Amino acid sequence: MADIIRLCLIGLGRTGKEVAKVLLKRKDMDIVMAVCSSGSDKIGKDLGQIIDSRDTGIIIDSCDALDENILKYKPDVAIDFSDPNATVRNAEILGKRKVNMVIGTTGFTEFQIKKLMNISKIHKIGIVYAPNITLGVNVLMVLTNLAASILEGYDCTIIESHFKNKKDSPSGTAKKIAKEVLKGMSGNTDIAAHDLDYSDVPIRSVRAGGIIGKHHVIMAGEYDKVEIVHESFTRTAFAVGAIKAVSFINKKVGFFEMSDVLDLRRVMTRYLEREANYKKQRFFNPEMQESEISV
């Protein structure tokens, strides 16, 4: 049996608490540290206390004690849903102590993202940078890229909706979707992400009530339109993505995104090969029944 992955959970807000609930049910992963902000009223409480479950034996501690707690509890991977400035500060410590990271926090500046890349390079740790951690929204991105590359001359607009107090606007995911649109439109396979300016695609942000997260891409031409929508209706979707990313990054070195975690390149190649194989079989065996063709 594979080793149990020891986890450090950083950020115990709306999302971090949901991730904790899902992780506590797993046998292959163990939360060994739960980290809150310095001065938080969560310090010293049992993790179970803040997620309305029975005591877990995991005592929440401040990020100020991150370094000494890493030495004590030896986590393999940290899952971070906190705040961009906090993430960068904590990443320096995690990097020095060789703890890999899954970063779900959003709202980083380009400079901060480069800093995270550098931390992974200098300290030789693995980081999954996932401003878009749900599996479904990653499917939306692939579909958007494909649609943009086919629908020449169509106008694209992105509408993203989130809860009232979400700090960043537009969402990190909406910016990434905009870049997928531009990549698809350019048709250029060598284009670098930093050469793309997300503001070239109109993004409308809605901040209302308790909406967890919805991204809606509209591509309209003169005569028809395509709409691609993804909606998370429970924060468990973020936990599922984070767990997949943890399994991927454990013991790896390098800076990755969710497209690497989901191995989208292999999925697309497999799709193209399957389609080509199907067409070949039909061409060489025209009398073959549909049910006899291997797919």
Ligand X SMILES: NC(=O)c1ccc[n+]([C@@H]2O[C@H](COP(=O)([O-])OP(=O)(O)OC[C@H]3O[C@@H](n4cnc5c(N)ncnc54)[C@H](OP(=O)(O)O)[C@@H]3O)[C@@H](O)[C@H]2O)c1
Which residues contact ligand X (rule: CB under 6 A)? 10-16, 35-37, 40, 42, 63, 81-83, 86, 104-107, 130-134, 238
Question: Least distance from C-beta 190 to ligand X, angstroms?
Answer: 27
Residue type, 207: R
Our CB check for ligand X shows the closer of 86 and 226 to be 86
Question: Least distance from C-beta 87 to ligand X, angstroms?
Answer: 8
Question: Least distance from C-beta 45 to ligand X, angstroms?
Answer: 11
Residue 218's DSSP bridge partners are: 157, 227
In whole angstroms, what separates CA 271 from the centre of its chain?
A: 23
What's the token pair of residue 239?
Answer: 């936990």
Our CB check for ligand X shows the closer of 133 and 182 to be 133
Is 45 tagged catalytic?
no
The 8-class DSSP code of residue 3 comes to P
DSSP 69-108: HHHHH--SEEEE-S-HHHHHHHHHHHHHTT-EEEE-----
Residue type, 185: M
Nearest to 133 by CA among 112, 110, 105, 101: 105
Q: Which of 45, 162, 183, 230 is catalytic?
A: 162
Q: Which of 21, 121, 123, 166 is catalytic?
A: 166
Alpha carbons 15 and 148: distance in angstroms, whole number: 32
Question: Least distance from C-beta 248 to ligand X, angstroms?
Answer: 15
The 8-class DSSP code of residue 70 comes to H
Our CB check for ligand X shows the closer of 151 and 230 to be 230
Nearest residue to ligand X, by Cβ distance, number only: 13
Residue type, 128: V
Our CB check for ligand X shows the closer of 15 and 120 to be 15
Question: Least distance from C-beta 15 to ligand X, angstroms?
Answer: 3
Is 162 tagged catalytic?
yes
Residue type, 86: A
Kindly state the helix (H) or strand (E) to which residue 181 belongs, with its residue range: helix 172-186
The position carrying tokens 């006899």 is 292
The 8-class DSSP code of residue 127 comes to E
Our CB check for ligand X shows the closer of 100 and 132 to be 132
Return the active site residues.
Answer: 162, 166
